[in-house]
Structure 1
């Protein structure tokens, strides 16, 4: 039995796999006013569809749906299997509150109760 697959069939399988990955992912990368779906995310980078994504470089924002996760400094690394891989130079989590510039005691009061 032969395991040979013609190039046309292989290309069709690759396109179907990329289409399924785009649908299943909620992750998006925003560059200026453009959004690109993230196919895969790992600790040191992420991948986008090579046909849709330009050769990105610089500061981008990473979102999960509408939730802003990271602000990243990226560089394109390589293209493989229809995906363009990008590496993080810096990946900073986005906080929903300003960082404190002092140490807060563990037993500090949360609020003050007035006497009535």
Structure 2
């Protein structure tokens, strides 16, 4: 049995896989006023489509749908197989709450009831 696949068939398979990734994924990068779709994300970075991807560098926000998940400091890493890959220098999880400037004990009461 041969594992050889004609080049035209391989290109069609790659194109179909790429389109499916774009359709399923809800990840977006917000760089200033511009928004770019993300193909995939891993612990140390993310990848965007090579033809759409600029040479991003610096502070960006990563969203999943409308939910802000990370504020990232990134650098463009490499372009391979139609993807532009970016690495995180820093990825800070986004929070809906302001950070506390004091220690809150885990067993502290949430509120006081009138006596």
User: TM over 0.5, yes or no?
Assistant: yes
- Are 1:27 and 2:34 matched, yes or no? no
CA drift at 1:90: 0.6
Measured in 1, the distance between the counterparts of 2:106 and 2:58 equals 39
Query: Aligned residue pairs: how many?
Result: 115
Q: Following the alignment from structure 1 to structure 2, what is the Cα–Cα distance between the partners of residues 76 and 67? A: 24
Give the corresponding residue for 1:89.
89
Which runs of structure 2 are paired with 1:74-113 in the superposition (5 Å)? 74-113=74-113
The match for 1:47 is 47
Of stretches 104-113 and 44-53 in structure 1, the one that deviates more from structure 2 is: 104-113
Distance 2:37 2:53 in 1: 9
Q: Is the 8 A contact 1:14 1:82 kept in 2?
A: no
Aligned-residue Cα RMSD (Å) equals: 1.4
Q: Give structure 1 stretches of 5+ with no counterpart.
A: none
Pairs within 5 Å for 1:47-66: 47-66=47-66
Contact 1:30 1:60 in 2 (8 A): yes
Give the SS at the match of 1:23: helix
> Matched residue of 2:46: which SS?
strand
Aligned to 2:73: 73
TM-score of the aligned structures, taking structure 1 as reference length = 0.90
Matched-pair contact (CA < 8 Å) for 1:14–1:81 = no
Unaligned runs of 5+ in 2: none
